Amino acid sequence: MTEDRNRFYAWSVLLSFSLMFFLVTAATFTSLGVVLPDMVRELGWSWTSAGLGFTLLGISCGLSSYPPAIMIRKMGVRWTVLFGTALLVAGFLLLYSVQTVWVYFAGTILAGTGFSFVATVPGTYMIARSFAKQSMAFGIYFTLGGLGGIVGPLFYFAAVGIWDDWRMHWMIVTILMAISGIITAFVVREDEEAERRAKQVAEAAVAQAPTGVYVTRQNWTAAQAMRTPQFYVIAAAYVSFLLCGIGINSMSVAHLTEVGVAMGVAGGLLSAESVINSAARAGAGFFGEFIEPKILLVISLICLVGGMIALTYGTTLPVLSIYAVGIGIGYGMTFLATSVLLMNYFGRKPYLELFSLMNVAATLASCGPFLGGYIRDTFGTFTPAFLLYAAVPALVGVFVLFMKPPRRAETLEEEQESSLPEAAPITIAAK
Protein backbone atom coordinates (compact mmCIF):
# COMPACT_ATOMS: atom_id res chain seq x y z
CA MET A 1 0.00 0.00 0.00
CA THR A 2 2.85 2.37 0.86
CA GLU A 3 4.54 1.63 -2.45
CA ASP A 4 1.33 2.40 -4.34
CA ARG A 5 1.03 5.69 -2.46
CA ASN A 6 4.64 6.59 -3.29
CA ARG A 7 4.08 5.75 -6.94
CA PHE A 8 0.94 7.88 -7.03
CA TYR A 9 2.81 10.76 -5.39
CA ALA A 10 5.70 10.49 -7.86
CA TRP A 11 3.35 10.70 -10.85
CA SER A 12 1.42 13.54 -9.22
CA VAL A 13 4.69 15.47 -8.91
CA LEU A 14 5.64 14.74 -12.51
CA LEU A 15 2.28 15.72 -13.97
CA SER A 16 1.77 18.85 -11.86
CA PHE A 17 5.24 20.23 -12.60
CA SER A 18 4.86 19.24 -16.27
CA LEU A 19 1.60 21.19 -16.43
CA MET A 20 3.29 24.23 -14.91
CA PHE A 21 6.25 23.96 -17.30
CA PHE A 22 3.80 23.57 -20.22
CA LEU A 23 1.83 26.69 -19.24
CA VAL A 24 4.78 28.94 -18.43
CA THR A 25 6.46 28.00 -21.73
CA ALA A 26 3.25 28.66 -23.63
CA ALA A 27 2.65 31.97 -21.86
CA THR A 28 6.09 33.54 -22.23
CA PHE A 29 8.70 32.91 -24.92
CA THR A 30 6.46 31.44 -27.62
CA SER A 31 3.29 33.50 -27.35
CA LEU A 32 4.92 36.87 -26.61
CA GLY A 33 6.29 37.01 -30.13
CA VAL A 34 2.79 36.36 -31.49
CA VAL A 35 1.11 39.04 -29.35
CA LEU A 36 3.79 41.70 -29.93
CA PRO A 37 2.62 42.89 -33.39
CA ASP A 38 -0.80 43.80 -31.98
CA MET A 39 0.79 45.48 -28.95
CA VAL A 40 3.16 47.50 -31.14
CA ARG A 41 0.37 48.53 -33.50
CA GLU A 42 -2.10 49.60 -30.81
CA LEU A 43 0.33 51.22 -28.37
CA GLY A 44 2.56 52.89 -30.99
CA TRP A 45 5.87 51.41 -29.86
CA SER A 46 8.97 50.96 -31.96
CA TRP A 47 10.18 47.47 -32.73
CA THR A 48 13.42 48.31 -30.94
CA SER A 49 11.44 48.72 -27.71
CA ALA A 50 9.40 45.60 -28.43
CA GLY A 51 12.55 43.56 -29.04
CA LEU A 52 14.21 44.92 -25.91
CA GLY A 53 11.31 43.61 -23.82
CA PHE A 54 11.82 40.17 -25.33
CA THR A 55 15.53 40.38 -24.51
CA LEU A 56 14.74 41.41 -20.92
CA LEU A 57 12.49 38.37 -20.63
CA GLY A 58 15.39 36.06 -21.56
CA ILE A 59 18.04 37.84 -19.50
CA SER A 60 15.89 38.01 -16.36
CA CYS A 61 15.08 34.31 -16.73
CA GLY A 62 18.75 33.39 -17.00
CA LEU A 63 20.12 35.65 -14.28
CA SER A 64 17.42 34.60 -11.81
CA SER A 65 18.13 30.88 -12.16
CA TYR A 66 20.21 30.57 -9.00
CA PRO A 67 17.95 32.28 -6.40
CA PRO A 68 15.36 29.47 -6.66
CA ALA A 69 18.02 26.99 -5.50
CA ILE A 70 18.71 29.12 -2.43
CA MET A 71 15.02 29.53 -1.68
CA ILE A 72 14.35 25.80 -2.06
CA ARG A 73 17.14 24.98 0.42
CA LYS A 74 15.93 27.55 2.96
CA MET A 75 12.13 27.61 2.55
CA GLY A 76 11.24 24.53 0.52
CA VAL A 77 9.81 23.86 -2.93
CA ARG A 78 6.21 24.78 -2.03
CA TRP A 79 7.00 28.38 -1.10
CA THR A 80 9.38 28.70 -4.04
CA VAL A 81 6.65 27.67 -6.49
CA LEU A 82 4.09 29.97 -4.87
CA PHE A 83 6.54 32.88 -4.98
CA GLY A 84 7.29 32.22 -8.64
CA THR A 85 3.58 31.96 -9.41
CA ALA A 86 2.99 35.32 -7.73
CA LEU A 87 5.73 36.91 -9.86
CA LEU A 88 4.22 35.46 -13.03
CA VAL A 89 0.70 36.59 -12.14
CA ALA A 90 1.99 40.09 -11.39
CA GLY A 91 3.94 40.20 -14.65
CA PHE A 92 1.03 38.95 -16.76
CA LEU A 93 -1.37 41.43 -15.14
CA LEU A 94 1.04 44.25 -16.02
CA LEU A 95 1.09 43.04 -19.61
CA TYR A 96 -2.72 42.83 -19.57
CA SER A 97 -3.08 46.45 -18.46
CA VAL A 98 0.02 47.85 -20.23
CA GLN A 99 -0.10 51.34 -21.69
CA THR A 100 3.56 52.44 -21.57
CA VAL A 101 6.72 50.70 -22.66
CA TRP A 102 8.13 50.87 -19.11
CA VAL A 103 5.24 48.81 -17.77
CA TYR A 104 5.91 46.37 -20.61
CA PHE A 105 9.54 46.07 -19.55
CA ALA A 106 8.54 45.52 -15.91
CA GLY A 107 6.04 42.84 -16.96
CA THR A 108 8.61 40.90 -19.00
CA ILE A 109 11.21 41.09 -16.20
CA LEU A 110 8.69 39.75 -13.66
CA ALA A 111 7.59 37.01 -16.07
CA GLY A 112 11.18 35.96 -16.81
CA THR A 113 12.07 35.87 -13.13
CA GLY A 114 8.92 33.94 -12.26
CA PHE A 115 9.76 31.43 -15.00
CA SER A 116 12.93 30.44 -13.12
CA PHE A 117 11.07 29.89 -9.85
CA VAL A 118 8.45 27.50 -11.28
CA ALA A 119 10.06 25.77 -14.28
CA THR A 120 13.10 23.53 -14.72
CA VAL A 121 14.98 24.32 -11.50
CA PRO A 122 12.29 23.14 -9.03
CA GLY A 123 10.79 20.78 -11.61
CA THR A 124 13.84 18.63 -12.30
CA TYR A 125 14.78 18.75 -8.61
CA MET A 126 11.43 17.34 -7.47
CA ILE A 127 11.23 14.76 -10.27
CA ALA A 128 14.73 13.49 -9.44
CA ARG A 129 13.64 13.03 -5.83
CA SER A 130 10.60 11.04 -6.92
CA PHE A 131 11.89 8.72 -9.69
CA ALA A 132 14.85 6.37 -9.57
CA LYS A 133 14.80 6.18 -13.39
CA GLN A 134 14.97 9.91 -13.90
CA SER A 135 15.78 9.81 -17.63
CA MET A 136 12.31 8.63 -18.61
CA ALA A 137 10.66 11.03 -16.14
CA PHE A 138 12.77 13.93 -17.43
CA GLY A 139 11.81 12.95 -20.97
CA ILE A 140 8.10 13.25 -20.15
CA TYR A 141 8.65 16.52 -18.31
CA PHE A 142 10.69 18.19 -21.06
CA THR A 143 8.37 16.86 -23.76
CA LEU A 144 5.24 18.30 -22.16
CA GLY A 145 7.06 21.56 -21.53
CA GLY A 146 8.10 21.69 -25.18
CA LEU A 147 4.50 21.16 -26.30
CA GLY A 148 3.69 24.40 -24.54
CA GLY A 149 5.74 26.14 -27.22
CA ILE A 150 3.45 24.71 -29.88
CA VAL A 151 0.19 25.42 -28.04
CA GLY A 152 1.14 28.88 -26.74
CA PRO A 153 0.09 30.85 -29.84
CA LEU A 154 -3.35 29.21 -29.63
CA PHE A 155 -4.02 31.22 -26.45
CA TYR A 156 -3.56 34.37 -28.52
CA PHE A 157 -5.79 33.13 -31.33
CA ALA A 158 -8.48 32.20 -28.80
CA ALA A 159 -8.31 35.64 -27.19
CA VAL A 160 -8.59 37.45 -30.52
CA GLY A 161 -11.15 35.02 -31.94
CA ILE A 162 -13.52 35.13 -28.95
CA TRP A 163 -13.01 38.57 -27.42
CA ASP A 164 -11.29 40.39 -30.32
CA ASP A 165 -8.77 41.68 -27.78
CA TRP A 166 -5.11 40.70 -27.48
CA ARG A 167 -5.15 41.72 -23.81
CA MET A 168 -7.36 38.73 -23.00
CA HIS A 169 -4.42 36.51 -23.91
CA TRP A 170 -2.62 37.78 -20.80
CA MET A 171 -5.73 37.35 -18.67
CA ILE A 172 -6.13 33.74 -19.83
CA VAL A 173 -2.55 32.80 -18.97
CA THR A 174 -2.82 34.68 -15.65
CA ILE A 175 -5.76 32.56 -14.53
CA LEU A 176 -4.28 29.27 -15.78
CA MET A 177 -0.90 30.02 -14.19
CA ALA A 178 -2.46 30.84 -10.81
CA ILE A 179 -4.48 27.60 -10.82
CA SER A 180 -1.44 25.53 -11.84
CA GLY A 181 0.77 27.07 -9.15
CA ILE A 182 -1.76 26.35 -6.41
CA ILE A 183 -2.20 22.74 -7.60
CA THR A 184 1.55 22.14 -7.71
CA ALA A 185 2.12 23.65 -4.27
CA PHE A 186 -0.67 21.46 -2.89
CA VAL A 187 0.91 18.30 -4.37
CA VAL A 188 4.41 18.89 -2.96
CA ARG A 189 5.27 16.97 0.23
CA GLU A 190 8.17 18.19 2.37
CA ASP A 191 8.11 16.16 5.56
CA GLU A 192 10.43 13.54 7.07
CA GLU A 193 8.77 10.76 5.11
CA ALA A 194 9.41 12.63 1.86
CA GLU A 195 13.08 13.03 2.79
CA ARG A 196 13.41 9.31 3.54
CA ARG A 197 11.74 8.48 0.24
CA ALA A 198 14.11 10.82 -1.64
CA LYS A 199 17.13 9.03 -0.11
CA GLN A 200 15.68 5.64 -1.07
CA VAL A 201 15.14 6.87 -4.62
CA ALA A 202 18.74 8.10 -4.86
CA GLU A 203 20.08 4.75 -3.61
CA ALA A 204 17.83 2.85 -6.02
CA ALA A 205 19.07 4.98 -8.92
CA VAL A 206 22.63 3.83 -8.29
CA ALA A 207 21.65 0.20 -7.71
CA GLN A 208 19.43 0.01 -10.81
CA ALA A 209 21.82 1.75 -13.21
CA PRO A 210 22.11 -0.45 -16.34
CA THR A 211 25.44 -1.78 -17.54
CA GLY A 212 27.31 0.86 -19.50
CA VAL A 213 25.60 3.83 -17.85
CA TYR A 214 27.84 5.61 -15.35
CA VAL A 215 26.19 6.77 -12.12
CA THR A 216 28.47 8.19 -9.44
CA ARG A 217 28.73 6.55 -6.04
CA GLN A 218 30.79 9.40 -4.66
CA ASN A 219 29.34 11.99 -2.31
CA TRP A 220 29.89 15.22 -4.23
CA THR A 221 29.29 18.77 -3.07
CA ALA A 222 28.49 21.64 -5.43
CA ALA A 223 31.83 23.32 -4.66
CA GLN A 224 33.76 20.13 -5.48
CA ALA A 225 31.83 19.65 -8.74
CA MET A 226 32.57 23.21 -9.81
CA ARG A 227 36.28 22.50 -9.55
CA THR A 228 36.06 19.81 -12.25
CA PRO A 229 36.35 20.45 -16.00
CA GLN A 230 33.44 18.06 -16.61
CA PHE A 231 30.95 20.49 -15.08
CA TYR A 232 32.06 23.27 -17.42
CA VAL A 233 31.97 21.00 -20.47
CA ILE A 234 28.38 20.00 -19.67
CA ALA A 235 27.47 23.66 -19.04
CA ALA A 236 29.08 24.63 -22.35
CA ALA A 237 26.97 22.00 -24.13
CA TYR A 238 23.87 23.48 -22.48
CA VAL A 239 24.82 27.00 -23.61
CA SER A 240 25.62 25.82 -27.15
CA PHE A 241 22.24 24.25 -27.84
CA LEU A 242 20.42 27.30 -26.50
CA LEU A 243 22.62 29.54 -28.62
CA CYS A 244 21.58 27.61 -31.72
CA GLY A 245 17.92 27.42 -30.68
CA ILE A 246 17.53 31.11 -29.83
CA GLY A 247 19.40 32.12 -32.97
CA ILE A 248 17.15 30.00 -35.16
CA ASN A 249 13.95 31.24 -33.53
CA SER A 250 14.97 34.85 -34.05
CA MET A 251 16.71 34.77 -37.47
CA SER A 252 16.00 31.57 -39.45
CA VAL A 253 12.86 32.89 -41.17
CA ALA A 254 14.59 36.14 -42.13
CA HIS A 255 17.60 34.25 -43.48
CA LEU A 256 15.57 31.78 -45.52
CA THR A 257 13.38 34.44 -47.09
CA GLU A 258 16.51 36.39 -48.03
CA VAL A 259 17.88 33.40 -49.97
CA GLY A 260 14.60 32.89 -51.83
CA VAL A 261 12.64 30.45 -49.66
CA ALA A 262 8.93 31.23 -49.40
CA MET A 263 7.72 32.72 -46.12
CA GLY A 264 5.21 29.90 -45.64
CA VAL A 265 7.91 27.26 -46.08
CA ALA A 266 10.30 29.05 -43.72
CA GLY A 267 7.64 29.33 -41.02
CA GLY A 268 6.51 25.74 -41.57
CA LEU A 269 10.07 24.48 -41.11
CA LEU A 270 10.31 26.35 -37.81
CA SER A 271 7.07 24.73 -36.64
CA ALA A 272 8.25 21.30 -37.81
CA GLU A 273 11.49 21.78 -35.87
CA SER A 274 9.46 22.50 -32.71
CA VAL A 275 7.40 19.32 -33.13
CA ILE A 276 10.53 17.20 -33.71
CA ASN A 277 12.15 18.92 -30.73
CA SER A 278 9.34 17.75 -28.44
CA ALA A 279 9.39 14.22 -29.86
CA ALA A 280 13.18 14.04 -29.44
CA ARG A 281 12.87 14.81 -25.74
CA ALA A 282 10.56 11.85 -25.27
CA GLY A 283 12.80 9.58 -27.33
CA ALA A 284 15.91 10.67 -25.45
CA GLY A 285 14.13 10.01 -22.17
CA PHE A 286 13.39 6.45 -23.26
CA PHE A 287 16.84 5.66 -24.66
CA GLY A 288 18.52 7.42 -21.74
CA GLU A 289 17.50 4.52 -19.51
CA PHE A 290 19.69 2.15 -21.56
CA ILE A 291 22.32 4.32 -23.27
CA GLU A 292 25.03 6.40 -21.62
CA PRO A 293 23.82 10.05 -21.64
CA LYS A 294 27.26 11.12 -22.83
CA ILE A 295 26.69 9.21 -26.08
CA LEU A 296 23.28 10.85 -26.48
CA LEU A 297 24.91 14.23 -25.91
CA VAL A 298 27.56 13.64 -28.60
CA ILE A 299 24.87 12.54 -31.07
CA SER A 300 22.70 15.55 -30.25
CA LEU A 301 25.59 17.99 -30.76
CA ILE A 302 26.39 16.38 -34.12
CA CYS A 303 22.74 16.84 -35.11
CA LEU A 304 22.91 20.51 -34.11
CA VAL A 305 26.00 21.08 -36.24
CA GLY A 306 24.47 19.30 -39.23
CA GLY A 307 21.21 21.20 -38.86
CA MET A 308 22.97 24.57 -38.65
CA ILE A 309 25.04 23.87 -41.77
CA ALA A 310 21.93 22.72 -43.68
CA LEU A 311 20.15 25.92 -42.64
CA THR A 312 23.14 28.03 -43.68
CA TYR A 313 23.42 26.73 -47.23
CA GLY A 314 20.07 25.03 -47.88
CA THR A 315 17.60 26.36 -50.42
CA THR A 316 15.82 23.17 -51.45
CA LEU A 317 13.27 21.31 -49.37
CA PRO A 318 15.34 18.09 -48.93
CA VAL A 319 18.30 20.03 -47.52
CA LEU A 320 16.09 22.25 -45.40
CA SER A 321 14.39 19.14 -44.05
CA ILE A 322 17.82 18.12 -42.72
CA TYR A 323 17.89 21.48 -40.95
CA ALA A 324 14.51 20.94 -39.30
CA VAL A 325 15.27 17.35 -38.29
CA GLY A 326 18.83 18.06 -37.16
CA ILE A 327 17.94 21.06 -35.01
CA GLY A 328 14.80 19.40 -33.67
CA ILE A 329 16.62 16.25 -32.57
CA GLY A 330 19.73 18.11 -31.43
CA TYR A 331 17.84 20.66 -29.37
CA GLY A 332 15.54 18.14 -27.70
CA MET A 333 18.20 15.53 -26.94
CA THR A 334 20.77 18.05 -25.66
CA PHE A 335 18.24 19.52 -23.24
CA LEU A 336 17.68 16.12 -21.65
CA ALA A 337 21.19 14.63 -22.00
CA THR A 338 22.91 17.53 -20.23
CA SER A 339 20.46 17.37 -17.31
CA VAL A 340 20.79 13.61 -16.84
CA LEU A 341 24.56 13.62 -17.35
CA LEU A 342 24.95 16.35 -14.72
CA MET A 343 23.07 14.20 -12.21
CA ASN A 344 24.84 10.95 -13.13
CA TYR A 345 28.28 12.54 -12.80
CA PHE A 346 27.78 14.46 -9.56
CA GLY A 347 24.79 12.84 -7.85
CA ARG A 348 21.46 14.21 -6.69
CA LYS A 349 22.64 16.14 -3.65
CA PRO A 350 24.41 19.05 -5.45
CA TYR A 351 22.22 18.85 -8.57
CA LEU A 352 19.96 21.74 -7.54
CA GLU A 353 22.82 24.25 -7.28
CA LEU A 354 24.68 22.91 -10.33
CA PHE A 355 21.64 22.94 -12.61
CA SER A 356 20.77 26.45 -11.43
CA LEU A 357 24.29 27.70 -12.18
CA MET A 358 24.18 26.01 -15.57
CA ASN A 359 21.04 28.00 -16.35
CA VAL A 360 22.73 31.21 -15.25
CA ALA A 361 25.57 30.47 -17.69
CA ALA A 362 22.97 29.91 -20.40
CA THR A 363 22.21 33.63 -20.25
CA LEU A 364 25.17 33.97 -22.61
CA ALA A 365 22.99 32.42 -25.31
CA SER A 366 20.72 35.48 -25.13
CA CYS A 367 23.50 37.42 -26.86
CA GLY A 368 23.03 35.26 -29.96
CA PRO A 369 20.35 37.36 -31.68
CA PHE A 370 22.27 40.60 -31.04
CA LEU A 371 25.49 39.08 -32.40
CA GLY A 372 23.66 37.63 -35.39
CA GLY A 373 22.02 40.97 -36.16
CA TYR A 374 25.36 42.75 -35.96
CA ILE A 375 26.96 40.22 -38.34
CA ARG A 376 24.00 40.60 -40.73
CA ASP A 377 24.38 44.39 -40.76
CA THR A 378 28.15 44.11 -41.24
CA PHE A 379 28.35 41.39 -43.92
CA GLY A 380 24.91 41.68 -45.48
CA THR A 381 24.07 38.04 -44.75
CA PHE A 382 23.32 35.75 -41.80
CA THR A 383 25.67 33.03 -43.14
CA PRO A 384 28.73 33.89 -40.97
CA ALA A 385 26.52 34.03 -37.88
CA PHE A 386 25.04 30.58 -38.47
CA LEU A 387 28.49 29.13 -39.17
CA LEU A 388 29.69 30.63 -35.88
CA TYR A 389 26.72 29.06 -34.11
CA ALA A 390 27.58 25.70 -35.68
CA ALA A 391 31.22 25.96 -34.58
CA VAL A 392 30.29 26.22 -30.90
CA PRO A 393 28.54 22.80 -30.51
CA ALA A 394 31.17 21.27 -32.82
CA LEU A 395 33.98 22.37 -30.50
CA VAL A 396 32.07 21.39 -27.37
CA GLY A 397 31.29 17.99 -28.93
CA VAL A 398 35.00 17.22 -29.21
CA PHE A 399 35.47 17.87 -25.49
CA VAL A 400 32.40 15.79 -24.62
CA LEU A 401 33.67 12.90 -26.76
CA PHE A 402 36.92 12.64 -24.78
CA MET A 403 35.40 13.49 -21.39
CA LYS A 404 35.64 10.87 -18.65
CA PRO A 405 33.55 10.67 -15.45
CA PRO A 406 34.94 13.00 -12.77
CA ARG A 407 36.71 11.72 -9.67
CA ARG A 408 36.87 13.58 -6.41
CA ALA A 409 40.38 14.58 -5.36
CA GLU A 410 39.86 13.13 -1.88
CA THR A 411 38.82 9.80 -3.38
CA LEU A 412 41.90 9.68 -5.58
CA GLU A 413 44.17 10.38 -2.62
CA GLU A 414 42.50 7.62 -0.59
CA GLU A 415 42.89 5.13 -3.46
CA GLN A 416 46.55 6.04 -3.91
CA GLU A 417 47.22 5.61 -0.21
CA SER A 418 45.46 2.24 -0.11
CA SER A 419 47.45 1.02 -3.12
CA LEU A 420 50.84 1.75 -1.54
CA PRO A 421 52.69 -1.29 -0.12
CA GLU A 422 52.75 -1.49 3.62
CA ALA A 423 55.96 -0.23 5.12
CA ALA A 424 58.24 -2.94 6.42
CA PRO A 425 58.59 -2.93 10.20
CA ILE A 426 61.74 -1.29 11.42
CA THR A 427 63.91 -3.57 13.51
CA ILE A 428 66.98 -2.68 15.47
CA ALA A 429 69.57 -5.38 15.62
CA ALA A 430 70.83 -6.21 19.10
CA LYS A 431 74.40 -5.36 19.64
User: Among 67-81, 198-212, 220-234, which is the least confidently predicted range?
Assistant: 198-212
pLDDT at 376: 85
CA angle (326 as vertex; 320, 331 as ends), nearest 5: 130
Q: Which helix (H) or strand (E) holds 339?
A: helix 317-346
- What's the rounded Cα separation, in Å, for the pair 128 and 14? 10
Q: Is the pLDDT of residue 315 over 80?
A: yes
Q: Is the pLDDT of residue 223 over 90?
A: yes
- What's the rounded Cα separation, in Å, for the pair 399 and 236? 10
Asked if 237 and 301 count as a contact pair (C-beta separation under 8 A), the reply is yes
Mean pLDDT of 412-428: 44
pLDDT at 419: 46
Q: Is the pLDDT of residue 301 over 90?
A: yes
**Residues 157, 161, 164, 165: is their CA dihedral positive or negative?**
negative
pLDDT at 285: 86
3-state secondary structure 220-284: CCHHHHCCCHHHHHHHHHHHHHHHHHHHHHHHHHHHHHHCCCCHHHHHHHHHHHHHHHHHHHHHH
- What's the rounded Cα separation, in Å, for the pair 360 and 344? 20
Question: Which residues in the chain are classed under CATH 1.20.1250.20?
Answer: 1-208, 215-405
pLDDT at 190: 84
According to DSSP, residue 430 is labeled: -
Q: Is the pLDDT of residue 416 over 60?
A: no
Q: Looking at domain 215-405, which CATH architecture does it have?
A: Up-down Bundle (1.20)
C-alpha pair distances (Å), 329 with each of 92, 310, 360, 367, 396? 32, 14, 24, 23, 17
Asked if 146 and 278 count as a contact pair (C-beta separation under 8 A), the reply is yes
Which of the four pLDDT bands, split at 50, 70 and 90, describes residue 284?
confident
Share of the chain above pLDDT 90, in %: 50
Most confident of 156-160, 190-194, 417-421: 156-160
Other Cβ atoms within 10 Å of 218 Cβ, number: 14
- What's the rounded Cα separation, in Å, for the pair 320 and 257? 13
Cα atoms found within 13 Å of the Cα of residue 51, Cβ hemisphere only: 10
pLDDT at 410: 63
Residue 405: exposed, middle, or buried by beta-carbon count in 10 A (0-12, 13-18, 19+)?
middle
Asked if 31 and 173 count as a contact pair (C-beta separation under 8 A), the reply is yes
Q: Looking at domain 1-208, which CATH architecture does it have?
A: Up-down Bundle (1.20)
User: Among 60-64, 77-81, 232-236, 389-393, which is the least confidently predicted range?
Assistant: 60-64
Q: Is the pLDDT of residue 429 over 50?
A: no
pLDDT 10s digits, 175-209: 999 999 999 999 998 888 888 888 888 887 777 77
- What's the rounded Cα separation, in Å, for the pair 309 and 390? 7
